[in-house]
Amino acid sequence: MPEGRVVTYGQVAAALGNVRQARVVGWAMQVCPEDVPWQRVVNACGELSTSPRYGNLQHKLLEDEGVQFGADGRVDLHVYGWLEWKKS
């Protein structure tokens, strides 16, 4: 996905064929190769779901790409989402 855009765990799971496997995507992201842009994956609310150890890093990496966070700490998926986003 391009710089400055995000995608949700559920969207990645859906692209892989099973929207109900968002948690599996999260587990896979913990061990993904270094060249995978893991920082661009957020939860369905636009929040960071990384551990506190990586949360600050993810926030910084996304800000460095031009992604802005709201006062509530969320990314606006309608603005920064890479794929069409629908709130269920």
Over range 61-73, report the average pLDDT.
Answer: 96
- Domain 7-80 fold: Arc Repressor Mutant, subunit A (1.10.10)
Q: Which are the contacts of 8, defined by CB distance < 8 A and separation ≥ 6? A: 22, 41, 42, 43, 44, 77, 81, 85
pLDDT of residue 67: 98
What tens digit of pLDDT does each residue of 38-55 get? 999 999 999 998 777 676
Q: For the whole model, what pTM was predicted?
A: 0.85
- Average pLDDT of the chain is 88
The residues spanned by each domain of the chain are: 7-80
User: Which DSSP symbol is given to 16?
Assistant: T
